[in-house]
Chains A and B, each alone.
Chain A
Amino acid sequence: MKKPLYGLTALFDTPDALMQAVDETVKAGYTRYDVHAPYPLHGLARAMRLKPSPLGYFALVFGLLGAVSAVGLMTWITLVDYPLVIGGKPFWSWPAFVPVAFEITVLLASVLTVVSMIVIYFKFPNISHPLHDTPFMKRVSSDGFGICIEAADPLFEEARVRGMLTSLGGKDVGPVYFDVEDLNHGQKVFDLKFVGLLAGVGLLVSIITYLGLNVMLYMKPFNWMMEQEKLKPQAASALFSNGIGMRPPVEGTVARGFLPYPYKGRPEDAGRYLVNPLPVTKPVLDLGREKYLTFCSPCHGNFGRGDSRLAGQFPNPPTLHSDKVRDWPDGSIYHVMTDGQNVMPSYAAQVSRDERWAIVHYIRVLQRAHHAKESDLQ
């Protein structure tokens, strides 16, 4: 089958000869042609009347996209999704965002511009071309300067073009033909081989990721932080005879902050030696009232009269306004709360030391209120 003609090529000795030839070609009205040189020539784009390359605008758009998305992501993360106070700085610390935003801007602008150029102008992945593997291409790749005028140009006429190129000093004026395979393929956007390659790469990356993250991470030594030899709660252990990892505390263990109560079982000494360490201030009294109402009022009543709903039943909670209690020193009241008395248990586990002293102050308030004197009003 006769291969269809792609175009006529010609080589020139010097850059100046080439430029002259380009001028003539443009003047003659050809539009489907191209110029080839092993390096960029000054003034060639102008001579070919090429429109300025829009890649600058691409870079601007991609760069802005990078800047906006980087700042947007960081803003969303630090203001909405997971605000954290870091270094005492405000959630949205714009000076800290500048470096990352800058890098992403440059990254997207540079890489995407080049990718766009390769896809749009070099027509990747449809990169094969009739001029490849021709003697013309060999020369032009090395030290030759050439023009190729395509047969598809409306003004193309083989003899006339040949004549023009020869008259301009063109050497090796010759035809270039389409490859049959290229013709059959046509200009498909997604070539099967290329898509296949992409799919293969995707599959390979997936396999590697899976093996890495789901298999390798669970192997030694990568799993050493996940599989630790320490005993976790509820775990079994062969170290102990009953096989239980969790052990009771050793004899004599005390709770944190524990201090032994020196007057256990000795109410007179408690009354004699203990002094209320807390000042009589509003916060202390508020605390005392709160704790009294929580722990004491179910038995002793809201105002210490012993008139809770337990009144009259066994055990009968006593009033706190009896002379006996009113005459007691603070330490005795504290001792009753700490050590218990008769049926009343020790409240030391539920009410802390400070809270008990606060309750003592509050009880004094109640007692004074119940036996108010004229002088109290002044």
Chain B
Amino acid sequence: MSTGLVDYTREEPVVAGRPTASEIDAAISAPLDQFPTRIWWIGFGITSTMLAIGVLCVGITLWSGVGTWGINQPVAWGFDIVNFVFWVGIGHAGTLISAILFLLRQRWRNGIARFAEAMTIFAVMCAAIFPLLHTGRQWLPLYLMPYPNQHGLWVNFTSPLLWDVFAVSTYLTVSAVFWYLGLVPDLATLRDRTTHPVKKLIYSVFSLGWRHSGRHWHHFERAYLILAGFATPLVLSVHTIVSFDFAVSVIPGWHTTIFPPYFVAGAVFSGFAMVQNSLIVVRQMFKLKHLITLDTLEKMNKVMIVTGSMVGYAYAMEYFIAWYSGSQFELFVFINRALGPYAWAYWTMVACNVIFPQLFWFKKVRRSIPLMFGIGVLVNVGMWFERFVIVVTSLSRDFLPSSWGHYVPSPVDVGILVGSLGLFFTLILVFVRVLPVISLAEIKSVLPGAQPERHEHN
């Protein structure tokens, strides 16, 4: 479609061809009505195995304690925090797509918002496991909440670790509410399509009696706008608060004022890579290439260049100020990252985050699915290593050389990481069979000829 030059006088179409609304219903509902294919079962088998490994390792942790992990003094935070930040970051792409692109009136988000939001919720669920596990007495999560209790104690409101509790739970709740709100009209459509009595009951209950009434759409649109308006600063605040975990400390390499926007940019960067890769698989599996077009994927690549460049800018600023500050501790951290015992992790990070994504400047790369997919995987690897480098290098070597130590993850650590990936992809596989991966209402509203020709005038 857009192999040639862009025609600036025309609106870019969101979908390819001119599908009708009922064709869209059929295409998107197909996976929900059919029995899963063999490929799906193979995928589910792999992800469930990974999940099972994770469950086993979590069980070991619950029984024997966090001593089964590789953390030690001085590296008291290892895989647990790295994975937490990684997963929260992945979740940010979903909210950006569904909320921020909505506010910016970018209609190309309509085909991907539902899936991206679902990924956000699943990613945040994966993320929430880690702070819970690393507390040591995971069966007392209520201690994290301020409620009147017989100890007479309250939580420490000045601690960023507590701010995380509020931020992540708010993010999970609001994302879920936002996602569910968008689902209501689709559940109504499914209710009216299905003949299976159990499915019909479930859809009827959860569609809240939606009858596509114009009066209801009026309030619905306003509520959706409000939620998008709130979700936008929320998503920025969540990863900002996560960055505060590090930046409020005094440790060189952690205490630097650029962390908040740098973390947010990095989160969007890694999130988009994950969303993009998952969409590539989904659109192939369910034959939705005309609804999740190559143009949309290309735009996602452009977002990745922007956010990847912001991450690169932050790396450069950290280096410059480390030198400019004159603080030998600060300078040492950055030399240590590049040349010390974890240099392999550092250079992986730089290659994956700064070098490879620059290939997206080239249109050929942006429109090639295999290359896009490969770079997406590399970005996710690179962003995981970024968090690893930040956490481990700054902790293993800070002010006093006599306090230096080395960190090696234990098999339980690795098992939990594998398990979190398993959980994430299992949830996605279940999601795609149970709920429509594209928002029926939203995609229909941007079909050619979907809106009345007449406009309101001032």
A residues with a Cβ closer than 8 A to B are 14-16, 18-19, 34-46, 48, 50, 52-53, 55-56, 59, 73-74, 77-78, 81-82, 84, 86-87, 89, 93, 96-97, 99-100, 102-104, 106-107, 109-111, 113-114, 117-118, 121-124, 127-129, 131-133, 137-138, 140-143, 212, 216-217, 221-222, 225
Contact = CB atoms under 8 A, between A and B. Distances in A.
Nearest to B229: A59
B449 A36 contact: no
A171 to B, nearest CB: 15
B244 interface: yes
B441 interface: yes
Nearest to B164: A99
A36 B62 CA distance: 53
Contact of B166 (A46, A96, A104): A104
B137 A39 contact: no
Contacts of A34: 213-215
Nearest to B174: A110
Nearest to B63: A221
B137 A142 contact: no
Given A78-B157, A111-B177, A123-B209, 9 more contacts: A36-B211, A37-B214, A44-B214, A55-B223, A104-B170, A106-B230, A127-B208, A131-B211, A143-B25
A70 B217 CA distance: 33
B219 A99 contact: no
A76 B62 CA distance: 36
A110 B227 contact: yes
B3 interface: no
A37 B212 contact: yes
Contacts of A82: 152-154
Interface of B: 20-22, 25, 62-63, 137, 139-140, 146, 152-154, 156-158, 160, 162-163, 166-167, 170, 173-174, 177-178, 181, 185, 188-189, 191-193, 204, 208-223, 226-227, 230-231, 233-234, 237, 241, 244, 440-442, 444-445, 449-456
A107 B218 CA distance: 23
10 contacts: A38-B185, A41-B451, A41-B452, A87-B158, A99-B237, A102-B237, A110-B234, A114-B223, A117-B220, A132-B211
A268 to B, nearest CB: 52
A52 B221 CA distance: 11
Nearest to B137: A225
A38 B441 contact: yes
Contact of A16 (B177, B452, B456): B452
Contacts, number: 206
Given A82-B153, A143-B21, A143-B25, A39 B442 contact: yes
Contacts of A114: 177, 181, 223, 227
A68 B244 CA distance: 23
A43 B454 contact: yes
A168 to B, nearest CB: 14
B157 A77 contact: yes
Nearest to A63: B230
B456 A107 contact: no
Nearest to B176: A111
A36 B223 contact: no
Contact of A100 (B157, B174, B213, B453): B157
Contacts of A55: 219, 222-223, 226
A77 B154 CA distance: 7
Contacts of B450: 15, 39
A38 B452 contact: no
A371 to B, nearest CB: 61
B139 A141 contact: no
Contacts of A48: 214-215, 218
Contacts of B156: 84, 86
A103 B22 contact: no
Contacts of B231: 110
A369 to B, nearest CB: 54
Contacts of B227: 110, 113-114
Contacts of B214: 34-37, 41, 44-45, 48, 50
B335 to A, nearest CB: 30
Given A43-B456, A110-B227, A143-B20, A96 B157 contact: yes
Closest A-B pairs by Cβ, 6 of them: A127-B209, A143-B21, A35-B214, A39-B445, A141-B192, A53-B222
Given A40-B220, A141-B212, A56 B146 contact: no
